[in-house]
Chain A
Amino acid sequence: MKITLKVWRQKNGKEKGALATYQLDDISPDMSFLEMFDVLNEQLSRKGEEPIAFDHDCREGICGACSMYVNGKPHGPKQTTTCQLHMRSFKDGDTIVVEPWRAQAFPVVKDLVVDRSAFDRIISSGGYVSVNTGGVPDANEIPIPKKIADEAFDAATCIGCGACVAACKNASAMLFVSAKVSQLAMLPQGKVESKTRAERMVAQMDEEGFGACTNTGACSIECPKGISLENIARLNREYFGAKAKSDNL
C-alpha cells in the first residue's frame, strides 16, 4: 500500500509544532498502525532525521500507552487501541493525519507524546481500597454475586489511555474517574470508602484542569475497552450522595 502521512512534529512542550508530510510506498495491510510508524522511523533514521516520538509499549492493546489521533479520532477509525489498529483498515493511497491527544491537562512532551500523569494523581487521591498487606480475610469469606463481580470487572477494564479525554469536547476525565469509582463502589471491599473516594477523585480531576461532563457520550464511543456511560451515572450518584451528607472534602 501507498500511504501519505501528515504527522504532528513538536520538539518539546515549549516550542511550536506543525504537521510534517511523509510518503510511504511499501506498507503491508497486515502491519499494525504502530508497525507502519516503525517502518517510517527506520527510514527517517537511515536518512539521519529524528524519528517520530510516540508512546507505545505492550502492543497488545492492554498497557494503554499508545495515544494518538488518527484522522481526527482517538486511536483511529476502529474502537480499539492504536497498536491493535491494522493497515487493512485503510485504503491504498490514503492520506492519514496523526496528532497527539488534545487536552489542556495532557500537555505535549514531544511529537505525539503527551504527559498523562494527571491520571496517576487522580488515582493517588483515592482510587484504591485502603488495605495493608497481609492479615486480610480469606478471599471467599465475603461472597460477591456473579452479576456484581462481572459489572465491577466491566468497569475495571479501563486501561487509562486517555482516549475518553481526547474524545470529549470539554476534555473531561469523567469516564476514567467513573470507571474506578464504580468498580470499587460496587464491591463490598471498596464500599466503606466510596463516598470519600468519589469526592476526592472528582476534586483532583477538577484541579488537574479536566473539563465538565455534558453527557455527550463521545468518550464511551471512542473508548477502546467500551467502558459504558452507566459508570458516569454511578459516579454522579456516589458524588451527590457524598455531597448530600456533606463531608465536603
Chain B
Amino acid sequence: MKLDSKIPEGPIGEKWSKHKFNIKLVNPANKRKYDIIVVGTGLAGASAAASFGELGYNVKAFCFQDSPRRAHSIAAQGGINAAKNYQNDGDSVFRLFYDTVKGGDYRSREANVHRLAEVSVDIIDQCVAQGVPFAREYGGLLSNRSFGGAQVSRTFYARGQTGQQLLLGAYSALSRQIDNGKVKMYTRSEMLDLVMVDGKARGIVTRDLITGKIESHSAHAVVLASGGYGNVFYLSTNAMGSNATAAWRAHKKGAYFANPCFTQIHPTCIPVSGDHQSKLTLMSESLRNDGRVWVPKEQSDAEKIRKGELKATDLPEEKRDYYLERRYPAFGNLVPRDVASRNAKNVCDEGRGVAKTGLAVYLDFADAIKRDGKDTIASKYGNLFDMYQQITGENPYEMPMKIYPAVHYTMGGLWVDYNLMTTVDGLYALGECNFSDHGANRLGASALMQGLADGYFVIPYTIGDYLAKMPYDKVSTDHEAFKKAEADVTEKINTLLSIKGTRTVDDFHKALGHIMWEYCGMSRNEEGLKKAKVEIQKLRKEFWEDVNVIGGNDELNISLEKANRVADFLELGELMVDDALYRSESCGGHFREESQTDEGEAKRKDDEFSFVSAWEYNGPETPETLNKEDLVFENVKLTQRSYK
C-alpha cells in the first residue's frame, strides 16, 4: 500500500488554515447522528472526547483506570510549550516549529510540526479559560521558563505539576460533557480488539475489568488516545498500567506501526536502587535550568564516593567534571534529552559514576542556592526536592541529587496522515499513541502540547471531513464482525487462563525488559539487536507454554490484565528490534553504535534514512513488511545536529 500523508499544498504557514477551509463540515443538526469511540482519556483522549461532545457528536469514552482523572498525563511535571513570545525574547511559531523539527533530528513531518506550533498558542488560552492555575508574575500575567533544549522562555507551567493541572482541565471539560449527556464514560474498561466492517473501523471489543464481561461497542469512527509503550522495558517512568494493547491490536487489524524503535530516554530520573524496583521516577527536566551536572574527574574519586569514603560535597571544584558544560558550552546543562542521557551513560561506562551501583551522576544545586538563595530554589522546585527526599532519604538542599537516564516516552506509534487517521479508514490515533510530531527525539514540554493540540484543535476538524462523507447508518453489535472479534478475544483469554505454567506474568515482563534495555536501549548495535530478536522469540514461546495466570475471567483479575498486556509487549518488542536493526543510522533517541561521528556524536544518514518506517502486520509469527514515507524538508535545512 502506498502511504498517502495527505499533506496539503502551499506554503508551510498556510497549510493548516487552507486545509481547515477545504475539508468538509458536518451540519450541526447531523452531528448527533454520528457516534465516536475514544479509547484513553489522558490529555489527548479527554480533550478529544470533550471537544466531540461540545460539537454535538455522541461519544463513548473508555479508560482502564477507575477514573479518567488518573491517566498518566497527570504525572508530567515540567511544562507545556507555546510560541506566545510573551517574553519578547525572539520566539515565534516558526521558531517553535524549527526547534521541534531540529530537536526531532529531522525525522518528523514538517507540516504536522508546523501545525503543532501554530495551535500551541491556542492551547494556553484554552487551558486558562478552563481555570488551569498556571504560574503568574506579580503583575498578574503568565510566567514562563526555559526548558531542556530551548534557548527561549516559552514553557508555561504550574509549579512541578503541569501535567496534573492540564489533565484536570481536560477532565473537567470531559466531565461537563458527561453531565450534558454527550459523553458516556466507561471506566475500568480495556479495549481488546478493533472491529472492522467493510474495511472501515466501526467499533471495539472491551473487557470490563471488574466483571470480566466482554462487550462490543459500535460507532462511525474510532479514536485511539491510549498513550505510549515505554513499559515494554518493564522499568520506565510510565505508570504501571500504561500499555500498548489498544494500539497493538489495532496494528494487527491493519494500522501500520511507525518508527517503533524511537524511544526517549529521560536524563533526569532517580537511579535504580535494587531488584525490587517497580518503576522509575522522573525528576522534572526543569531542574537542569539551575542544577549543574557533574561526576568526579578521576575514577579513583568516584570509587571512594561509591564506597562511602568520600562525600560529594567534600570533592573540591577542580576535581569535578561538569561534562555537559565542558562539551557543549552553548547549551551546557540544557542539551536535549538524548545528548544528556548518552553523556551520562558514557561517564558511568568510564567508571566515573556515583551511587552504590555506579550508575548515577550528580545534579548539583549548590551554586544556584548560593546565587539565588534557598527560598528562591524552594519556590521553583520545592515539591520536586521533597519528592526526591521522600524516595531516596537524602536532602537535595544539602547533597547534590543523584540522577540517571530512564525510558520515558515513545516517539513511535501508529502511523497517521495529516488528518491523524491511521492506515485503517475511520481509525484515528492521537497524542503519544501516534508517531507524528516528535521525530526521533522529543524535546521537553512538547508531549503535553501535542496531546492537547491533537485533542482540542486538530481532530475536531479532521474527523468531520471523514464523517461528512459517511452515511449515518449504524452497525449493530450483532454483526458477525463483532461476534468474531468477541470470540477471538474470549479465546485468547481462555488460552491464557488454561496454560497454568510455572512462571508469573511479571517474571516474563521483567525478562523482556532486560532484553530490551540491554540491546535496544540507550545505544544499539547490529550484533546485539540480532541477539535480542532471537531471545524475544524464545521468551514469547516460553510465555505461551509456561505462564501462570491465576484466577478466572469473570472477576477483577490483575494477573489476567497484565498477561494480556505482556503478550502484546512480547510481540511489539520484536518489532522495535526489527526497526532498530533496519535503521543503521543514529538519530535522536536511536543511537546505532555503528553510526557516530569522530567525536562520538550521533551521525544521521539522510540520504538513506530520511523516511518514516511504517510496519505492516502480516499475521502471527510472520515478518512484517516495511513501508516507507519519505520525509521532505522544504523549510528546515538538514544539518548535523550540534549543541557545541
Binding site for B on A (CB under 8 A): 11-12, 28, 30-32, 34-36, 38-39, 42, 45-46, 48-51, 53, 55-65, 80, 84, 86, 88, 109-110, 113, 115-117, 119-120, 123-134, 136-140, 142-146, 149-150, 152-153, 156-157, 159-160, 183-184, 187, 189-190
Contacts and interface: CB of A to CB of B under 8 A. Distances in A.
A21 to B, nearest CB: 20
A183 B133 contact: yes
B126 A136 contact: yes
A49 B129 contact: no
B172 A160 contact: no
19 contacts: A49-B550, A51-B550, A53-B558, A57-B241, A58-B70, A58-B240, A62-B74, A80-B390, A128-B175, A128-B176, A133-B456, A134-B457, A140-B142, A149-B133, A153-B158, A156-B158, A187-B133, A189-B128, A189-B131
Nearest to A189: B131
Interface residues of B, number: 80
Contacts of B72: 57-58, 63
A55 B135 CA distance: 31
Interface stretch (B104-112, B273-281, B318-326, B522-530): B273-281
B299 interface: no
B173 interface: yes
A22 to B, nearest CB: 16
A109 B556 CA distance: 8
B281 A117 contact: no
Given A58-B239, A128-B130, A139-B124, 11 more contacts: A48-B548, A59-B279, A117-B187, A120-B187, A131-B129, A133-B126, A134-B122, A136-B126, A143-B140, A159-B164, A189-B129
B281 A59 contact: yes
B159 interface: yes
B304 interface: no
Contacts of B171: 123
Contacts of A129: 129-131, 172
B67 A120 contact: yes
Nearest to B504: A45
A186 B629 CA distance: 50
A46 B501 CA distance: 10
B136 interface: yes
A30 B550 contact: no
In the complex, the 4 A-B pairs of residues with the closest C-beta atoms, listed nearest first: A143-B140, A128-B172, A136-B129, A139-B128
A156 B550 contact: no
Nearest to A85: B390
Contacts of A128: 130-131, 172-173, 175-176
A186 B70 CA distance: 25
Pick from B69, B129, B504 the residue with the most CB of A within 10 Å.
B129
B139 interface: yes
B86 A153 contact: no
A143 B137 CA distance: 9
A7 to B, nearest CB: 14
B125 A138 contact: yes
Given A86-B390, A124-B178, A117 B137 contact: no
B240 A56 contact: yes
Contacts of A187: 131, 133
B141 A140 contact: yes
Contact of B69 (A30, A88, A120, A131): A120
Contacts, number: 218
B175 A113 contact: no
B64 to A, nearest CB: 9
Nearest to B173: A128
A198 to B, nearest CB: 15
B259 interface: no
Contacts of A156: 133, 158, 165, 168
Pick from B74, B84, B282, B457 the residue with the most CB of A within 10 Å.
B74
Contacts of A124: 175-176, 178-179
Contacts of A145: 136, 138, 140
Contact of A133 (B185, B279, B457): B457
Contacts of B84: 139
A45 B133 contact: no
Contacts of B273: 28, 30
A137 B126 CA distance: 8
Contacts of A190: 131
A59 B240 contact: yes
B281 A60 contact: yes
A237 to B, nearest CB: 18
B240 A57 contact: yes
B238 to A, nearest CB: 9
Contacts of A184: 131
Contacts of B127: 139
A160 B67 contact: yes
B456 A58 contact: no
B161 interface: yes
B513 interface: no
A22 B465 CA distance: 58
B58 interface: no
Contacts of B185: 120
B534 interface: no
A126 B136 CA distance: 26
B624 interface: no
Nearest to B211: A12
Interface string B172-194: 11011011000001010000000
A59 B65 CA distance: 14
Nearest to A34: B278
Contacts of B506: 38, 42, 45
Interface string B384-401: 000100110100000000
Contact of A35 (B47, B278, B393, B555): B278
B463 interface: no
Pick from A35, A53, A131 the residue with the most CB of B within 10 Å.
A131
Contacts of B161: 62, 157
A34 B51 CA distance: 37
A136 B125 contact: yes
A139 B68 CA distance: 26
A143 B54 contact: no
Contacts of B276: 28, 30-31, 35-36, 38-39
A116 B66 contact: yes
B329 interface: no
A225 to B, nearest CB: 9
Nearest to B139: A143
B129 A137 contact: yes
Pick from A38, A80, A120, A143 the residue with the most CB of B within 10 Å.
A120
A139 B555 contact: no
Pick from B137, B138, B171, B279 the residue with the most CB of A within 10 Å.
B279
B13 interface: no
Pick from B65, B69, B506 the residue with the most CB of A within 10 Å.
B69
A132 B129 CA distance: 9
Contact of B125 (A56, A139, A160): A139
Nearest to B187: A117
Interface in B32-52: 47, 50-51
Contacts of B210: 109-110
A125 to B, nearest CB: 6
B134 interface: yes
Given A140-B141, A146-B138, A88 B556 contact: no
B373 interface: no
